[in-house]
């Protein structure tokens, strides 16, 4: 008998981070990215993960480490449901805690997306449970700092100038999408911006970014709508402001990328104000 699906999301005001708990899900997550860091682990089940054109098989004991804009997709491979947990950390929150830990003002970059059988999985589990319990004690704060310090020491590279592997024409397309995502964008528009024919643009963009132009556009829209929902904007209004043509289209993409419906996500922040 398949276990009942459970999706829980909570926001910790004290630390400024989110915690997700997904139990009994079979959902395939399409190719997408987030504007924040994701640190996650699998409680049970196995998944095939594709991240930045690399393939992984992940399971219990492994830690997932996604930098902002690391595109990824995953699906179940063992026919069983997935129990998944993660914490999400916005760049400004990560920068602040990294400064406290290292004394240096920078955004870290995880050098690997999967840490197999990581020693840090236990402390991550402990922190995640404290977040779900909405603990406000010293233990939660201490565990968060120790976790980030260990991850920085083990899975990030030394500070260095980041090399941009995206060509100028594809970068122009990314910028165009990021500026005009609320409007109707066609392949012809992007072709003109890049100075490439349509097929060459699609092939080059997907090769360099690891995600298609359409997936890039929809991810930008979902992430913008997510911020609006956090501010109390109603889902139907957030959909229009983010460039979605109708509510059902918005709800489908939001749940595919985030794992909850727009209303469920908005309610997390509405409950905080009560």
Q: How far apart are CA 148 and CA 142, in angstroms?
A: 10
CA distances from 226 to 68, 173, 238, 270 (A): 15, 23, 8, 13
Give the model's confidence band at 68: pLDDT under 50 very low, under 70 low, under 90 confident, else very high: very high
Write out pLDDT tens, residues 215-272.
999 999 999 999 999 999 999 999 999 999 888 889 988 988 888 899 999 988 876 5
Can you give the pTM of this predicted structure?
0.82
Write out pLDDT tens, residues 207-218.
888 889 999 999
pLDDT at residue 120, as a whole number: 96
Write out pLDDT tens, residues 152-186.
999 997 655 444 567 899 999 999 999 999 999 99
Span 68-83, average pLDDT: 88
Does residue 274 register a pLDDT over 60?
Answer: no
Question: Which token pair is 13?
Answer: 């005001």
Q: How far apart are CA 139 and CA 134, in angstroms?
A: 12
Domains and CATH numbers, the chain: 6-155 (2.60.120.10), 168-272 (1.10.10.60)
Q: How far apart are CA 225 and CA 61, in angstroms?
A: 33
Q: How far apart are CA 76 and CA 67, in angstroms?
A: 22
Nearest to 34 by CA among 65, 61, 9: 65
Span 186-207, average pLDDT: 92
Report the DSSP pairing between strands 82-89 and 72-76.
unpaired
Residues paired with residue 57 on neighbouring β-strands, in sequence order: 48
pLDDT at residue 53, as a whole number: 83
Q: How far apart are CA 262 and CA 254, in angstroms?
A: 6
Query: What are the strands, taking DSSP E only, across 33-173?
Result: 37-44, 47-51, 54-58, 63-66, 72-76, 82-89, 114-115
């Amino acid at each position: 008998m398949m276990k009942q699906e459970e999706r829980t999301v909570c926001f910790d005001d004290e630390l400024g981070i989110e915690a997700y708990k997904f139990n009994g899900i079979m959902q395939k997550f399409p190719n997408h990215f987030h504007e924040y860091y994701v640190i996650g682990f699998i409680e049970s089940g196995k998944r095939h993960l594709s991240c930045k054109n690399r393939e992984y098989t992940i399971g219990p004991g492994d830690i997932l480490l996604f930098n902002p804009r690391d595109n990824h997709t995953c699906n179940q491979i063992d026919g069983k449901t997935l129990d998944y947990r993660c914490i999400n950390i916005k760049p400004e929150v990560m920068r602040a805690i990294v400064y406290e830990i290292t004394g240096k003002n920078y955004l870290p970059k995880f050098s690997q997306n999967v840490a197999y059988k990581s020693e840090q999985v236990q402390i991550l589990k402990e922190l995640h449970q404290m977040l779900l319990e909405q603990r406000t004690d010293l233990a939660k704060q201490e565990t968060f700092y120790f976790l980030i310090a260990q991850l920085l020491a083990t899975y990030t590279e030394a500070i260095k100038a980041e090399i941009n592997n995206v060509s100028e024409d594809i970068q122009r397309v990314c910028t165009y999408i990021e500026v005009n995502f609320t409007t109707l964008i066609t392949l012809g528009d992007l072709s003109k911006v890049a100075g490439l024919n349509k097929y060459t643009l699609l092939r080059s963009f997907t090769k360099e970014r690891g995600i298609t132009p359409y997936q890039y556009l929809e991810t930008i829209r979902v992430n913008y709508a997510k911020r609006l929902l956090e501010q109390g904007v109603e889902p139907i209004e957030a959909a229009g402001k983010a460039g979605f043509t109708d509510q059902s289209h918005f709800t489908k993409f939001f749940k595919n990328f985030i794992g909850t419906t727009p209303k469920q996500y908005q309610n997390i922040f509405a409950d905080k104000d009560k």
